[in-house]
Amino acid sequence: MARDLLDLVWLVPLLPLLGAAMLMLAGRRIGEPKAGWLATGMMGLAFLVSVVMFFALHDLPEHERAHISNVFEWLSSGGLHVEMGFLADPLSVTFILFVTGVGTLIHLFAIGYMHGDERFSRFFAYMNLFCASMLILVLGSSFLVTFLGWEGVGLCSYLLISFWFERQGAALAGKKAFITTRVGDVGFMIAMFLIFLKVGSLDYSALGAAEGLASGTTTVIALLLLLGAVGKSAQFPLHFWLPDAMEGPTPVSALIHAATMVTAGVFLVARAHPYFEVSGDAMTVVAWVGAGTALLAATVALVQPDIKRVLAYSTISQIGFMFLALGVGAYAAAIFHVVTHAFFKATLFLGAGSVIHGNRDNQDMRVMGGYRKYLPLTAGAMTIAWLAIAGVPPFSGFWSKDEILTKAFLNDEYGVWLFGLVTAALTGFYMTRLILLVFGGTITTASLAASGDTPDADAHSAASQEPSANDHAPWDPTEPTVAFGTPPRAATVDQLHPPHEAPPTMALPVLALAGLAIVGGFINIPLKGLEFLTEWLHPSFADVHEVHPESFWEGFALAGVSVVVGIVGIALAVALYRKGLAAADRDPVIERLGPMGRVFGHAYYFDAGVSRVVGGPLHRAARWLSDTADARGIDGAVNGVGTLVQRAAGGLRKTQSGLVRNYALWIVIGTAALLLFLLLYAGR
Amino acid sequence: MIGGGIDTGTRIVGPDVDFLAIGPVLALAVAALVVILVRAILRKRGPVNQISLGVGLAGVAAAGVLLGIQWNEVRDDGTITTIAGAVRLDTFGVFLGVVVLAATAMSLFLAASYLEREELEAPEYYALMLLSAAGMLTMTTANDLIVVFVALELLSIPLYVLAAFDRRRLSSQESGIKYFVLGAFSSAVFLYGIALTYGATGTTSLTGIADFLSANTLFEQGTLLAGLALLLVGLGFKVAAVPFHMWTPDVYQGAPTPVTAFMSSATKAAGFAALLRLLGVAFPLYRTDWRPAILGLAVLSLAVGSIAAVIQTDVKRILAYSSIAHAGYILIGLQVDTARGRQASLFYLLVYAFMTVGAFAVITVATRKGDDKHSLDDYRGLALRRPVVGGLLGFFVLAQAGVPLTGGFVVKLEIFSSAVDAGEYGLAIVGVLAAVVAAFIYLRIAVALFTSPGGEAADASEDRPVDRWTAAVLAVTTAAVLFAGILPGAWLTFAKDATFL
């Protein structure tokens, strides 16, 4: 019974895929808002099917909880047989549950958010396709099926980030995301080639063969897989596409950050963990990539003025936490954090979407303040998510973050653990800053200061060459991102147009997600008998040795440390931002950090550095290749071949005289040649 | 080895006949006869054209059902040999029978509206096509050189008439005459090859030849090898392999377009059926002798087919040369002489049938009445004026070029990987190079379709709407080519099950 049900697991990706197909073909006819409801409905159905899959899988005895259902033979060529197969095991079912669940809520939110967009139905077609790709990615029964979804996710992220392609920033950001993740994809591909070469099968059922390989080989394969994961999950050094990806519509950001795409890398490492386990070096690299990224991204998030950028760097940092967990072998903890992060990050993004939506698309936090009055629901939801991400018990983020830090400590990875602790403190700080800047303070302090209506206006005009304008926004609304170092954008909040709460279709998903952000942590409480998620995931990681605290008090002490650290970060931020900003262009944290603040603000100049290398030496090399090597060498050769072919064809034309007797002569010549060949050469 | 035992009396006992084995052939032949009778009885009264088409399609459908039954029977219970060993029904034969029949059905569909437009005699046309298809089906299961020869004539003679069927158009007449003269010539060569082979082995049965050669060592191989060479000439002519290809451009260009579609798909499949069977069943022991010969044919076909296409300006002629090049690819699979190579060749024939019929289907509707305006200039801007028609032609030529996500890519990939598997790297490289050269001409067609014509704009009012018969063919071929490109698994399994073991 359970297995029969599990055979239907292909329904999960098929439903959103069908939705996408219907919307592509007949989207215009379906129109707004039905297109949105159709897409949301498909995701909802997929969620229901996922729930059924969960119970079906749960019905099986623990050691049998891995069911492969082959839908059809995709291709079979020589030694390569690829089944279009789906693998339902605790790991993949966990992923499909939150991808479809969170995805449904985001779709619902998007119906309101995208209201009035002229490509409304196209947007939902892409969204459905995005989720379908992600579901194929996690459900694939082999690396190749996963790769199919992997590429689909890449394609959809490109389509959705540059959905408003009329904006140059959006078009560029889409390209940047696509190209950067492609770098990682190459790693993934080479890893697959190597695995096929060495193991002869890309099926996940053959993962165990990793143990039989030479240690150098497994390390190379693991590191190449990591490269792919790093690209998709926006980890150092391929992290820089994610902040720009904010150019897409906010539901897209929420989807990328919470449910799809960035968690794909975590999934890949978790799925392919035997390769990492066998190669200890690769594990160390994973742990340090995660720890380093977590810390660096958190420092960058400290000083950003743009609400969505803070969240973007916070995602990079949180994904870093997940990699850190993977690197110390705490797979269940990593997946746990994926799930809780999906809840609170989706809340934060949709909340931020509400703030921006209700604020005439201004994303500059420096001119916000006091919004709790106008957006009480959003404020409540985001406050919950803030406490969750900052690691305050009993909100969900506390449980998963504590689990990760505890496991790092217990595995004797003290350096990694320390990085994680500092990051936790920084997380508390920058999230508190965000909440206080947006919802705290009063509306008259910073926002009006920037608009030039208060005596503080001098400070503002010194920073901005623009004459202050109140009624007409002096900034270009098609470039919404507020980069570090740019002058504050004139407040768009005035007495006539206070920010307003979003319609119910937008508020409801935010509240639901906030609810999950509160209780999401209870699926895995680190006490005997309450570690539901760890136990549920155990079959997927049965080969991994899990460490546990020696005593309740050891775990308790470690948890206490991480809570205290988080609280310290929060307290510092409260001290600095309790009253909001004194003036829109004077941010206390930047002033206190001095030159470090600028380094953080410009994200360590990494992006600029990459651009300079790509734009400078690399560009010149490419130009040389195209102008000299290609034009003279390759084009020359191709043109030469072209001329040769033309001449040869001219010669052949002469034989094609149209006269039957000549044709017959050729047959005779051919016959004679065959006869001579067979008699003289072959007959010997 | 035809002939049964002779009883003690004067009564002649015929050999046992398994009617299932020859059922599809009978279905087509009966349908052809009924069509002729209907025509004779009804004269011009009543809807004689529609009735003929209906009868023809019914015959094809019946043959199709019988092929389906045969497939299951043969796959489960093994090969059926009947009529004293003259006919051998195996999955290989059924597979190519399916290719032939699919091509026949689509060509009949294409002819339905074409004949009406060009005001040609429909019933005779259908009868001839059905008879030719019956010959092809005979060819796919023939296990005796005499049967092969009879099938060859049965499929060829109606084709000569069909090529010249548009008797008001000079180029059609010319193509019929050319095809006939050269075809007769090659048949004679083929027949002489049979005689020499019989002289060397004492049998004309394909399995008999193989048995004889494995049981005896020939003291003098000259006769047999000369016979083999002449047999290759006869079949090389039918599949349009260089240097026996000279008729192809002229005939493809001149023949009515539905006939060209039929020739390029079904005839090629039938010719390769005989070639594969001859070399694989009768002469496996002489593989070291014939493999280099086939190599030569393949390389020449690839080179000439691809290179000569480059300077052509007539679309039907371009497709004729490309069909020569395609024969070269299929010969690669034959040359490597492995199960995988044969499988790749069969797969290629199947997908190629859809690609080429699809391309010619577009051509029947893209041009106006007369069927003689096929220069690239006539096609310039077609996709701008008629996006669907022009786009589809673009799709089919790109598929023939081997663009990924189309069946054309997968079949080439299979052919090349079978060559690489067998260590024939040189042949694979020649194939890839030929594909590169040929891509030029396909792209030229595609570009012409999408560039606006200079000078006066073509008069759109003369454009014929796509009738539903052609639309059905286009839908089926497009779906098949896309399906083969994206999900080749099922097709490959089908081809893999087709063996003559």
Using DSSP's 3-state secondary structure scheme, residue B355 falls into helix
Mean pLDDT of B140-149: 93
- Asked whether residue A490 carries a pLDDT value surpassing 80, the answer given is no
In Å, how far are A294, A300, A316, A507, A623 from A311, measured between CA atoms? Answer: 13, 11, 9, 19, 38
For residues A272 and A289, what is the distance between their CA atoms, to the nearest angstrom? 17
Residue A654 vs residue B116, higher pLDDT: B116
Residue A451 vs residue B434, higher pLDDT: B434
Residue A263 vs residue A646, higher pLDDT: A263
A169: nearest Cα among A363, A386, A315: A363
Contact A101, A225 (CB under 8 A): no
Mean pLDDT of B330-334: 93
Lowest-pLDDT range of A369-383, B256-270, B426-440: A369-383
Phi, psi (deg, nearest 5) at residue B23: -55, -50
- Best mean pLDDT range from A390-404, A451-465, A519-533, A645-659: A390-404
pLDDT in tens, A173-229: 888 888 888 888 888 988 888 888 888 888 888 888 878 888 888 888 899 999 989
Distance from CA of A644 to the nearest CA of B (A): 10
Which pLDDT score, from 0 to 100, does residue A497 have? 56
Question: Above pLDDT 90, what percent of chain A?
Answer: 10
Are B181 and A664 within 8 A, CB to CB? yes
- Asked whether residue B98 carries a pLDDT value surpassing 90, the answer given is yes
Which pLDDT score, from 0 to 100, does residue A459 have? 39
CB of B251 within 8 Å of any CB in chain A?
no
- Asked whether residue B497 carries a pLDDT value surpassing 90, the answer given is no
User: What are the residues whose beta carbons fall under 8 Å from the beta carbon of A529, sequence distance 6 or more?
Assistant: none
Mean pLDDT of B351-366: 91
Which pLDDT score, from 0 to 100, does residue A259 have? 74
pLDDT range class, residue A475, cuts 50, 70, 90: low
**Long-range contacts made by residues A661-666, C-beta under 8 angstroms, separation at least 24?**
A662/B246, A663/B178, A663/B182, A663/B246, A663/B247, A664/B181, A664/B182, A664/B185, A666/B243, A666/B244, A666/B246
Which pLDDT score, from 0 to 100, does residue B191 have? 94
Contact A110, A510 (CB under 8 A): no
CB of B222 within 8 Å of any CB in chain A?
yes
CB of B292 within 8 Å of any CB in chain A?
yes
- Asked whether residue B455 carries a pLDDT value surpassing 70, the answer given is no
Which pLDDT score, from 0 to 100, does residue B501 have? 62
Question: Above pLDDT 70, what percent of chain B?
Answer: 94
B262: nearest Cα among B395, B122, B132, B98: B132
CB of B404 within 8 Å of any CB in chain A?
no
Lowest-pLDDT range of A90-99, A573-582, B436-445: A573-582
Contact B178, B250 (CB under 8 A): yes
In Å, how far are B157, B164, B259, B324, B365 from B240, measured between CA atoms? Answer: 17, 19, 16, 6, 26
Contact A4, A93 (CB under 8 A): no
pLDDT range class, residue A448, cuts 50, 70, 90: very low
CB of B163 within 8 Å of any CB in chain A?
no
Are B288 and A682 within 8 A, CB to CB? yes
Which pLDDT score, from 0 to 100, does residue B463 have? 67
Mean pLDDT of B108-121: 87
* Per-residue exposure over B277-299, b if at least 16 CB sit within 10 Å of its own CB, e if not: bbbbbbbeebeebbbebbbbbbb
Are B246 and A662 within 8 A, CB to CB? yes
For residues A210 and A282, what is the distance between their CA atoms, to the nearest angstrom? 13
Question: Using CB atoms and an 8 Å cut-off, which of residues 482-501 of chain B contact chain A?
Answer: 487-490, 492-493, 496
Which pLDDT score, from 0 to 100, does residue B60 have? 95
Q: Please tell me which of the candidates A72, A645, A683 has its beta carbon nearest to residue B222.
A: A683
- Best mean pLDDT range from A472-481, A637-646, B118-127: B118-127
| Number of neighbouring beta carbons within 10 Å of residue B45 | 7
Distance from CA of B4 to the nearest CA of A (A): 35
Mutate to test the interface with B, among A663, A665, A677, A679 (most CBs of B within 10 A): A663
- Asked whether residue B190 carries a pLDDT value surpassing 90, the answer given is yes
- DSSP structure string for B39-106: HHHHTTSSSHHHHHHHHHHHHHHHHHHHHHHHHHHHHHH--EEETTTTEEE-HHHHHHHHHHHHHHHH
- Asked whether residue B10 carries a pLDDT value surpassing 70, the answer given is no
- Residues across chain B: 501
Residue A169 vs residue A295, higher pLDDT: A295
Write the burial class of residue A29 (CB in 10 Å: 0-12 exposed, 13-18 middle, 19+ buried): exposed
Are B293 and A679 within 8 A, CB to CB? no
pLDDT in tens, B220-277: 888 889 999 999 999 999 999 988 888 898 899 989 999 999 999 999 999 999 999 9
Mean pLDDT of B89-106: 93
Mean pLDDT of B131-144: 93
Mean pLDDT of B74-84: 84
Mean pLDDT of A329-350: 89
Which pLDDT score, from 0 to 100, does residue A495 have? 42
Lowest-pLDDT range of A413-422, A581-590, A636-645, B454-463: B454-463
Show the CA angle centred on residue B376, arms to residues A646 and B462, nearest 5°: 175
Q: Which residues of B touch A74 (CB under 8 A)?
A: 487, 489
Mean pLDDT of A89-100: 90
Which pLDDT score, from 0 to 100, does residue A453 have? 43
| Number of neighbouring beta carbons within 10 Å of residue B404 | 11
Distance from CA of A646 to the nearest CA of B (A): 7
Q: Which pair of structure tokens corresponds to residue A178?
A: 């696509």
CB of B420 within 8 Å of any CB in chain A?
no
Q: Which residues of A touch B191 (CB under 8 A)?
A: none
Rounded to the nearest angstrom, the gap between the alpha carbon of residue B490 and the centroid of all alpha carbons in its chain is: 22
- Asked whether residue A471 carries a pLDDT value surpassing 50, the answer given is no
DSSP H helix total and E strand total for chain B: 21, 2
Q: Is the four-CA dihedral B220, B225, B228, B233 of positive or negative sign? A: negative
Are B489 and A658 within 8 A, CB to CB? no
pLDDT range class, residue A472, cuts 50, 70, 90: very low
Q: Which residues of A touch B310 (CB under 8 A)?
A: 645-646, 649
Contact A198, A217 (CB under 8 A): yes
Helix residue ranges per DSSP H, A31-82: 34-59
pTM for this one?
Answer: 0.68
For residues B470 and B485, what is the distance between their CA atoms, to the nearest angstrom? 22
Are A656 and B246 within 8 A, CB to CB? yes
Q: Which pair of structure tokens corresponds to residue A537?
A: 């995931």
* For B491, nearest residue in chain A (alpha carbons): A75
CB of B225 within 8 Å of any CB in chain A?
yes
- Asked whether residue A562 carries a pLDDT value surpassing 70, the answer given is yes
Mean pLDDT of A33-42: 88
Helix axis angle for A331-357 and A262-271, nearest 10°, is 170
Are B222 and A679 within 8 A, CB to CB? yes
Q: Which pair of structure tokens corresponds to residue B252?
A: 């493809």
Half-sphere exposure of A175 (CA within 13 A, CB side): 7
Mean pLDDT of chain A: 81
Q: Which pair of structure tokens corresponds to residue B380?
A: 């310039």
pLDDT range class, residue A530, cuts 50, 70, 90: confident
Mean pLDDT of B375-381: 81
Residues of A in CB contact (< 8 Å) with B are 72-78, 641-642, 645-646, 648-650, 652-653, 655-656, 658, 660, 662-664, 666-667, 669-671, 673-675, 677-679, 681-683
Contact B306, B172 (CB under 8 A): no
Q: Answer yes or no: is the ipTM higher than 0.85.
A: no
Rounded to the nearest angstrom, the gap between the alpha carbon of residue A483 and the centroid of all alpha carbons in its chain is: 21
Which pLDDT score, from 0 to 100, does residue B195 have? 94
For residues B487 and B427, what is the distance between their CA atoms, to the nearest angstrom? 27
For residues A318 and A385, what is the distance between their CA atoms, to the nearest angstrom? 14
Which pLDDT score, from 0 to 100, does residue A244 have? 81
Q: Which residues of B touch A151 (CB under 8 A)?
A: none
DSSP code at position B467: P
pLDDT range class, residue B18, cuts 50, 70, 90: confident
- Asked whether residue A446 carries a pLDDT value surpassing 70, the answer given is no
| Torsion angle of C-alpha atoms B431, B435, B438, B444, degrees rounded to 10 | 180
A451: nearest Cα among A489, A478, A480: A489
In Å, how far are A260, B67, B276, B352, B448 from B93, measured between CA atoms? Answer: 50, 10, 10, 17, 40
Are A671 and B233 within 8 A, CB to CB? yes
Contact B301, B325 (CB under 8 A): yes
A318: nearest Cα among A431, A155, A152, A184: A431
The amino acid at A534: T
Are B308 and A656 within 8 A, CB to CB? yes
User: What are the residues whose beta carbons fall under 8 Å from the beta carbon of B233, sequence distance 6 or more?
Assistant: A667, A670, A671, A674, B186, B189, B190, B193, B244
Q: Which residues does residue A82 pair with via DSSP β-bridges, in sequence order?
A: A75
pLDDT range class, residue B310, cuts 50, 70, 90: confident
Which helix (H) or strand (E) segment holds residue A80: the answer is strand A80-88
Mutate to test the interface with A, among B191, B192, B285, B307 (most CBs of A within 10 A): B307
